[in-house]
Structure 1
Amino acid sequence: MRFFIVDDDEAIRSMLSEIIEDYDLGTVVGEAENGAAIDDHLLNMKAVDILIIDLLMPLRDGIETVRAIKPSFDGKIIMLSQVDNKEMIGNSYLLGVNYYITKPINRLEVIGIIQNVMEHIRMQNVIHNIEKNLNVLNTEKNPPASSTAAISKHSIVASGQNLLAELGMIGENGCSDLLGILDYLKSYENHQPLEQEFPSLKDIFMNVAMKKLGLSDPNDIKRETKALEQRVRRAIFQGLHHLSSIGVTDYTNPKFEEYAPKFYDFVEVRKMMLNLQNNMKPSISNSHINIKKFVKVLYLESKKRL
């Protein structure tokens, strides 16, 4: 990945550059001490994938700069700020900022957020390639039934990948299991409408495990079913943590307002937010994860995006 850093503090720019290079996250292709020193032409010329920019700077601040470059800059944007101003943060999200990093800089937080953004970019590229291939298939006259089914399945998986990326879950092991669940539910619905009866989680997990292992020992399938459930639970917990973090920063963030109550029991969201506000480390063992609700919503929302 190619990074560009904009911050009026030279020490911050140096620290971020070291983190990016030390952890092999990519290459820093440029730096600036003020937003007025960059424009969309410069960023596109340098093929920047991720722009890291400070919120408060002299001459032109981060929000003004993002507003100026966003129409023509397709890269991801990470905003830095030591100011906890919810209105300013909310405005930056609406303009297209993808993540926030609070100052003073925490090395682990920086690494985690950059890795999430990188994974989001990779998933978008995968989805783009899938859609490109589907468009080729759709141009064929009278595709056979098997091809139509393949298009439908691949579409639901691509749609699900995009949703999981927005929920901050891409990179978790359970994400591939959740995509396998979407694939299974699409096949299931071809024979029986889900509006009438949604299959039990036990049946869903077992069928996905069987498809993964093929003809295998029943004990192996049983173990994989249990492991699959645990991976899915951890992935869903990560999504809860991600959305709650957004809610703590900006309660009116559109992503938080849309996804938090839709995918999760809001009592759990509120509890997670309180833990984060009190600097308490959230624990999956102390959280009630409603897997069935999440899976249902993920499937229905993924279908809507087809």
Structure 2
Amino acid sequence: MRIYIVEDDLSVINILEDIIETQGLGEICGDCGGEPANLSDVLRAKPDVVLVDFFMPVKDGVEFVKELRTVNTTIKCIMISQVSAKELISKAYSAGIDFFISKPINLIEVRSVLKNVEQQITNEHTLANIRRMFMNEIDHMPKGTKPESDDYGRKLKYILNRVGMSGEKGCPDIIKICEYLHENHIPVSNLSVSQMCEAVSDSPKNMEQRIRRTIAAGMSNIAHMGIEDFMNETYTLYSGTLFSFEDVKAEMDYLRGKRSSGGKVSIKKFIDGLMLEAER
């Protein structure tokens, strides 16, 4: 993971570089050396992540991120600041910030945030690769043999992959329930969540907990997509079908620091939406 630092305080740059290098959090591909932010220099360094200070002379962090987002929407932006005012935090997230790191710099927070960003990048790359492979395989199938209703499980996996949930422990559980309901022609509304789990598992309570955590992870992924790009295809397609849009909005506000808790998970809403999408 390549990291560029945009910060007007050389001591902060040195601290961040020391933490990143000693903790093995990534490769420093450049910094602004305490000078005003230069977009061309940043883009030439080809970073995966930019750490940018909120308050800087000439051009502040929000202005810099807005400028960066006009030419690149994939670089992850982490704001470094002592700002606590909600309106300023909201302004930063609206500009395109993905995460915040507070000043004074704390090793544990830097490590936690960068690990989260690294995982998010990995998930996005995995999802993109799976999607390319899947679409390429479909394109090369003989006419008339492309997946239809007999490939229901594969369709479920594809949708879950798109939402970045394929690596979660509850993913196989969700697929198992959907396949059970589909094969037996049982509407989701006819059963409670506990009854669904009891029908396919010897440990229904554990299954329900895994599924709930997995759907929560999916909601967080969708919310991140919406924050980064409100017109993101996956976000627009699934934010209101697999989840309640109000809960996704609450999750986005939570990630932006505008509320103390995120959206609520509805297992039945998610499974119902997933089955409808797979049956299209």
Superposition TM-score, scaled by structure 1 size: 0.65
Distance 2:61 2:244 in 1: 27
In the other structure, the counterpart of 1:216 is none
Amino acid at match of 2:125: N
In the other structure, the counterpart of 1:21 is 21
Give how far 1:6 is off.
1.0
In the other structure, the counterpart of 1:201 is 194
Judging by fraction of residues, say which structure has more helix: 1
1:195–1:147: structure 2 CA closer, same or farther, 3 Å change rule? Answer: closer
**Paired residues of 2:215 and 2:270 also in contact (CA < 8 A):** no
In the other structure, the counterpart of 1:128 is 128
In the other structure, the counterpart of 1:250 is none
**Paired residues of 1:160 and 1:179 also in contact (CA < 8 A):** no
**Paired residues of 2:173 and 2:207 also in contact (CA < 8 A):** no
1:294 aligns with 2:266: yes
Distance 1:264 1:126 in 2: 25
Give how far 1:52 is off.
0.7
RMSD across aligned C-alpha pairs, in angstroms? 4.0
Q: How does 1:142-157 map to 2 (within 5 A)?
A: 142=144, 143=146, 145=148, 148-157=151-160
Amino acid at match of 1:71: T
1:71 aligns with 2:70: yes
1:202–1:92: structure 2 CA closer, same or farther, 3 Å change rule? Answer: same
SS of the residue corresponding to residue 177 of structure 1 reads coil
Q: How does 1:1-80 map to 2 (within 5 A)?
A: 1-33=1-33, 36-39=36-39, 41-73=40-72, 74-80=74-80
Task: Name which of structure 1's ranges 145-154 and 68-77 shifts more when overlaid on structure 2.
Answer: 145-154
Give how far 1:101 is off.
1.5
SS of the residue corresponding to residue 37 of structure 1 reads coil
1:176 aligns with 2:194: no
Q: Which runs of 5+ in 1 are unaligned?
A: 165-169, 210-220, 247-254, 277-281, 283-289
Distance 2:5 2:44 in 1: 15
**1:117-168 per-position Cα deviation (integer Å, ceiling 9, x unaligned):** 111111111110121122113323222547743541222221332xx6xxxx
SS of the residue corresponding to residue 189 of structure 2 reads coil
**Paired residues of 1:205 and 1:228 also in contact (CA < 8 A):** no
**Paired residues of 1:4 and 1:51 also in contact (CA < 8 A):** yes
Superposition TM-score, scaled by structure 2 size: 0.71
1:129–1:106: structure 2 CA closer, same or farther, 3 Å change rule? Answer: same
**Paired residues of 2:81 and 2:101 also in contact (CA < 8 A):** yes
1:228–1:93: structure 2 CA closer, same or farther, 3 Å change rule? Answer: same
Amino acid at match of 1:197: N
Q: How does 1:156-235 map to 2 (within 5 A)?
A: 156-161=159-164, 176-191=168-183, 192-198=185-191, 200-201=193-194, 203-204=196-197, 207=200, 222=203
In the other structure, the counterpart of 2:239 is none
**1:35-63 per-position Cα deviation (integer Å, ceiling 9, x unaligned):** 74321x43343221111111111111100
Distance 2:35 2:176 in 1: 48
User: Would you say how many aligned residue pairs link Structure 1 and Structure 2?
Assistant: 248
Q: Which runs of 5+ in 2 are unaligned?
A: 225-234, 236-242
In the other structure, the counterpart of 1:217 is none
Identity, in percent, stands at 24
1:262 aligns with 2:239: no
Distance 2:53 2:248 in 1: 32
SS of the residue corresponding to residue 28 of structure 1 reads strand
Distance 1:239 1:152 in 2: 17
Distance 1:85 1:96 in 2: 17
Q: How does 1:77-88 map to 2 (within 5 A)?
A: 77-88=77-88
Distance 2:120 2:211 in 1: 19
In the other structure, the counterpart of 1:118 is 118
